[in-house]
Amino acid sequence: MLRSVFYRLRQFAAALAARLSAADRALLAQTLAPAELALFMQMPRYDQRHCLDVCLTLRAAGHADPLLLRAALLHDCGKVDDDGRPLPLFYYGLFVVMQRLAPGLYRRAARNGRGPLRWFALHAAHDERSAAMAARAGSPPALVEILRDYGARRATPATLALGWADRQN
């Protein structure tokens, strides 16, 4: 448990310090279609950094499938609401604690989804939203399928790789 707390604290510190370099921006421009890049750029810097790190982890492990790498860059774009507001960083820690210690309460808050609980609903639906947003942006159906399968926890070679890299970051 203590190790998990320290891991989450390191994640929080990394989120606060998140930056994208010129090389990162060049990689994004090479990898993503223009409409996908717009989705990526809507995310807050901490989610951008996380998604980019997931992509880089996959590349470092030898994964070269361009659709998998694009899916890694977009897998959290659904954490931005329909008005372009990102899920506030404060809530991330709350979600982790509640999902671990009070999963029923988290699910009830997500189902309610009104007022300050709307962020719970957004978080709970972000996987499906990411897939739908990628589809609307014109991403190839195979990329959208990776995102849908990942959100539905279907074990495919792509989702297993994406899940592994996501857990590393």
Contacts for 47 with CB less than 8 Å, ≥ 6 apart? 76, 77, 79, 86
Domain of residue 59: give its range. 2-168
Burial string for 46-55 (b: 16+ CB within 10 Å, else e) reads bbbbbbbbbb
Beta-bridge partner residues of 86: 80
Q: Which helix (DSSP H) or strand (DSSP E) does residue 42 occupy?
A: helix 34-42
Residues 60, 64, 68, CA angle at the centre, nearest 5°? 100
Q: Letter for the amino acid at 63?
A: H
Token look-up 């990628």 returns 134
Token look-up 């978080």 returns 123
Please give the chain's pLDDT, 169 residues, in tens: 556 656 666 766 666 677 899 999 999 999 999 999 999 999 999 999 999 999 999 999 999 999 999 999 999 999 999 999 999 988 988 898 899 899 999 999 999 989 989 999 999 999 999 999 999 999 999 999 999 999 999 999 999 999 999 999 9
The total number of structural domains that make up the chain: 1
Beta-carbon-side half-sphere exposure of residue 94 (alpha carbons within 13 Å): 16
The answer to whether 130 and 143 are in contact (CB under 8 A) is no
The whole-model pTM stands at 0.90
Tokens of 84: 């372009």
